[in-house]
Copies of this chain bind each other. A is one copy, B any other.
C-alpha cells in the first residue's frame, strides 16, 4: 500500500505501534467472521471458558472494558445463546458459557492460536523474542 519512505512518520515507534496494531486487529477480525464473532466477543468467550462464577464486572476489569459497555456485548452473546446469566446473589450474576458457547469458544481458541502463530512467524527471527516483553513494558 504505502511505501515507508513516502511516510515521514514511519520512523516513529508510536506510529508503527498503531499501524501494526491496526493491521493485526483487521486480520483477526476477518478470521473471526468465520465464527460470527467480534474480537471483543471472542475475548469474552475465551476469558470465561477458563473461569468460574465470573461476573460482568470482573470480565470488564480483566479486559479493560468499561462496565457500561459490557451490557450490549453480553446481550449480543446471550441473544445468540452463547452465554447465560446465573444469579450468584440478589445483586451479582455469573456469566457462563452455554454448551453452544463452549463449542464456539473452542473454535475461537483454535482461530486465535493459529492467528498468534502466524503473527509471530511474520516477525524476523532475531527480533521475535523481544516483542512481547517490549509491548508489556509499554502497556503495564
Using a CB-CB cutoff of 8 Å, which residues 1-52 of chain A contact chain B? 1-2, 4, 6-14, 16-25, 28, 43, 46-47, 50
Given known A47-B9, A140-B4, contact A131–B134 (CB-CB < 8 A):
yes
Find A124's partner among B2, B22, B137 (CB 8 Å cutoff). B137
Among candidates B22, B62, B134, residue contacting A123 with C-beta atoms closer than 8 Å? B134
**Out of B2, B13, B122, B126, which one reaches A131, CB within 8 Å?**
B13
| Most B-side CB within 10 Å, residue of A25, A112, A132, A138 | A138
Contact B62 A12 (CB under 8 A): no
Residues of B within 8 A of A8 (CB): 46-47, 50
Residues of B contacting A19 with CB < 8 Å? 64, 135, 139
* Pairs of residues from A and B, 5 with the lowest C-beta to C-beta distance, nearest first: A21-B21, A130-B130, A16-B135, A127-B134, A20-B138
**Sample of 13 A–B contacts (CB below 8 Å):** A4-B140, A6-B62, A8-B46, A14-B24, A14-B119, A17-B17, A17-B20, A22-B64, A22-B139, A122-B137, A127-B130, A128-B134, A131-B134
A residues whose Cβ falls under 8 Å from a Cβ of B: 1-2, 4, 6-14, 16-25, 28, 43, 46-47, 50, 61-64, 112, 115-116, 119-120, 122-124, 126-128, 130-140
